[in-house]
Amino acid sequence: MCGIAGYSFSSRSSVDRTLAAQALLAGIAERGADAVGYAYRGPASAYPVVAKQRTPASKLLERIDVPDTATELLVHVRDYTKGHPSIAANNHPVRHGPVVGIHNGIIVNDDELLAEFECARAEPRMTVDSEAIFALAAHSHNEPHALEALRGAMATAWLDEREAGTVFAARGVGRPLWTGAGKHELFFASTRTALEVVEEYAGVRLKKHELKDGTFLAMRGAKVVREDRFRPDTHYREPGKPLPAVRAPGEGASCLKQLAALAAA
């Protein structure tokens, strides 16, 4: 069980980009401690800046640095299933060609799907299943129905270097995804609680909404510019007992304490 979050901002937003990123990370920190990472992009560049490391969120939170010009952000904490975190390419954000993305869930037919693409597994020893999502996004030019080929559980978001200013997100089955809309800000996160943390520390009021299974969004300038539906895999069942949402409770508490100190400074 991983945690994902991010935002799409209008250039008119006065919200502190770094503090908003830190609030999102603190809000999802309890969902995984095997690795952590984030990516951001601004209107002047098509290429996202990516930072990730094999540590819990508490070891990155204070070092997050997002410029005031950034309008798009992805944040991830990892509780890994496939693709050992000792291999940096397996940790999120994950790249496939022009697409950089984050994923919560598990894809069970990733090797089958990636076999079609010569550019797959470009990094040495890369085996993470999430790459299949971003390969389909890249090669279909972000066509939501391409996601119907995936088998497994999924909530995901990504940036495409060919689509400046746009953040894509999708919810399949088995993993939650919420949005929170402000005046000049549009946030998304694995949980409503993460959005409430953002409200408290970033000084915004958000209209919160849980996405339905099979929802695809394209967000630009803090607005949903495209909403579509796709048919996710409804036959997948988690092996064994359902995964608990809280995987690293100490990380959640530690990051919230750090966040309070940062906001007060």
Residue 196: φ, ψ to 5°: -70, -35
- Residue 76 near residue 38, CB atoms below 8 Å: yes
pLDDT in tens, 87-136: 999 999 999 999 999 999 999 999 999 999 999 998 889 999 999 999 99
Sort 205 into a burial class: Cβ within 10 Å, 0-12 / 13-18 / 19+. exposed
- Residue 93 near residue 40, CB atoms below 8 Å: no
Residue 260: φ, ψ to 5°: -60, -40
Tell me the two tokens of residue 29: 């920190």
Task: Give one DSSP letter per residue of 128-146, joined into a string.
Answer: -TTHHHHHHHHHHTS-GGG
DSSP-derived secondary structure letter, 88 = G
What domains can you pick out in the chain, each with its CATH number?
3-264 (3.60.20.10)
- What's the pLDDT at 230? 98
| Beta sheet of 3-9, edge-to-edge order | 49-53, 35-41, 72-78, 3-9, 185-189, 178-181, 207-210
Tell me the two tokens of residue 202: 């970033």
- What's the pLDDT at 212? 98
- Residue 74 near residue 99, CB atoms below 8 Å: no
Which segments in the chain show pLDDT lower than 70? none
- What's the pLDDT at 246? 85
DSSP-derived secondary structure letter, 83 = S
Cis ω before 249 (30° cut-off from 0): no
pLDDT in tens, 233-255: 998 888 877 777 788 989 999 99
Q: Whole-prediction pTM value?
A: 0.97
